[in-house]
Amino acid sequence: MKGSWFFSAALAGLLLACQTTVQHRPVVSVANTSGKPANQPEESAGEKLRRNAEKALESAREAAVAGDEDGFLACESTLVQQVGEAIAEAPQDPELPQAIAELWQELDDLTATLYAEEETPEQEESAQVPEEVLPAKPEQVEQAAREAQELTFDLPVKVTPEVASLIDFYTGPYRERLIAALERAARWLPLIRSYLSQMQLPQDLAYLPLVESAFHTHARSRAKATGLWQFMAGTARLYQLRCDGLVDERLDPQRATQAALAHLSDLYATFGNWELALAAYNSGAGRVEKAIKRAKGNTDFWSIRRFLPRETRNYVPAFWAALIVVKQPQRFGLPTFPEQTWCRDMVPVEGALDLEVLAEKGAWDLETLRQLNPALVRGITPPAGVYQVAVPCGQGEQARTVIASIPPSERIKRLFHTVRPGDTIAAIARRYRVSPETIMAANNITNPRALRVGREMVIPKAGWSAATVAENREKPRSRAQSIRNPLRYRVRPGDTLYSIAKRHGLTVEAIRAKNNLSGTVIRPGDVLYLAP
């Protein structure tokens, strides 16, 4: 989901609608108490928002240019709050949706500036939609249309020259990645479908992560869109997902799925058209509204397509093509994978608890706990409030007993520090008797001068060096490390049996037989023997 700042504009549009299938919090209109003479024009909510937001927006511009991520995120939080206040005060102001859309659009552009960098292999893997698509020949379109007519969809799938061309892309150059993505999808499709049923949304939306993240739960784009559903941090927070230095719920498939489907539901209620809703999910409602205006009010996706960003032009056709392909795997020679159920028990934990300590005290595998709690960025629950920790299915009661037995002095191996005005890395290091390099390593800080007031920092215990922190922090292994011993392989996040087999010149069946696997389920940290 490249466009992150569109929900507020969509929400404003929803509040203007007479009827909607999406429930929102009640909004109270605020009476005019300004005391201005009746003959003096009142400042509209849209104008007021533009005026109030300018200072934070200017600070965001400076932070983006300087590469100050913490400063930018602080400005982002301020702007989100201002938008929420504007909607609550004047939900029916006709200028408000446009003002919000413009604001979000500029923030999108600034986000791209902040995170402008060369694309890494992981980011390339998460890019599922080609920017350039050559239309297919008429005979290819006719054949694809005939095949699609034999299938059942609950979305308005169309076959166009672009869709037919993308079918060839997914079954040709992208084939190997598609197979790996479908293997990952088998784990998450049941979960997504269950929430689609609860929200009475089309079941075919379950495959949208195919074009978003290839079902990589830790996928991260160049613009820092993250997770299965590729949420930007700002949009995630608008849907009550926590995103900070300790917890990033975009990485939790269950929480992110709930938020993404609510998001899609809102967009559909706004545009009344699934193709436009999907385009808005990808690029932002502001860009879609702008394209509709340029098309003189035309709301047909295929008519406004040329006015949309290049990636979004092909986003909907790519999703239609992907649906056509995955619904007939045998026709395209694609393997099928048994679907799995993701089960975990949730246990409330008050205050900070290190997953490493929980694993030791409860005799659980640490990698399993990390996999069940992907939102815990540092592997520690927040120091304030109650957090729901996940443990293996059916072991909730055992976990409650174990947690209750852990003395407060043994619950964490690290301390926390909330950054206050005037704090510096050096001063914090002196206070806790560790080196500045150790603190920077533990918190992934590259710019020691870009500390954001209010940020929760992890402070390793005294005596740890930066090297010790690096050794104890979970990192993906490089390819060279992972294949140093060709007979033994440790599974990394995103791996599937199919991708491992292809990388080592083996077959899935051979790996399963060598490791006595009854299915295809593997987890990060598992060790596989790969001798042919």
- 40 near 86, Cβ under 8 Å? no
Torsion, Cα 103 108 114 120, to 10 degrees, reads 170
The answer for residues whose C-beta is within 8 angstroms of residue 87's C-beta and 6 or more apart is: 8, 11, 12, 15, 27, 96, 100
Neighbours of 35 (CB within 10 A): 5
Local structure of residue 344 (DSSP, 8 states):
E
User: 284: alpha, beta or left, given left = phi > 0 and alpha = psi -120 to 50?
Assistant: left
**280 with 267: CB under 8 angstroms?**
yes
Residue 176, Cβ density class (10 Å: 0-12 exposed, 13-18 middle, ≥19 buried): exposed
Write down the catalytic residue from 102, 162, 212, 249. Answer: 212
d(CA 278, CA 138): 26
Element containing residue 139 per DSSP (H, E): helix 138-149
Q: What is the largest CA-CA distance in the chain?
A: 86
| Total Cβ atoms within 10 A of residue 23 | 7
Is residue 325 a contact partner of residue 178, using CB atoms and an 8 Å limit?
yes
Residues 6+ apart with CB under 8 A from 526: 367, 490, 491
Q: How many residues comprise the chain? A: 532
Please report, for residues 355, 379, 518, 522, the alpha-carbon distance to residue 370 in angstroms, rounded to integers and kept in the order given. 7, 7, 24, 14
419/448 Cα distance (integer angstroms): 12
Instruction: Please tell me the distance from the alpha carbon of residue 346 to that of residue 397, in angstroms, as a whole number.
Output: 10
What dihedral angle (degrees, nearest 10) is formed by the CA atoms of 247, 249, 253, 259?
170
- CA–CA dist 376, 245 (Å, integer): 9
What is residue 354's DSSP assignment?
B
CA distance 156 to 150: 14
CA–CA gap between residue 477 and residue 462 (Å, rounded): 27
d(Cα 454, Cα 371) in Å, to the nearest integer?
28
Query: Are 377 and 247 in contact, with CB atoms under 8 Å apart?
Result: yes
User: CA–CA separation, 345 vs 221, rounded Å?
Assistant: 31
Answer yes or no: 212 catalytic. Answer: yes
**What amino acid is encoded at 104 in this protein?**
W
The label of the residue with tokens 């393997």 reads 335
- Do 2 and 211 meet the contact criterion of CB atoms below 8 Å apart? no
**Residues taking part in catalysis:** 212
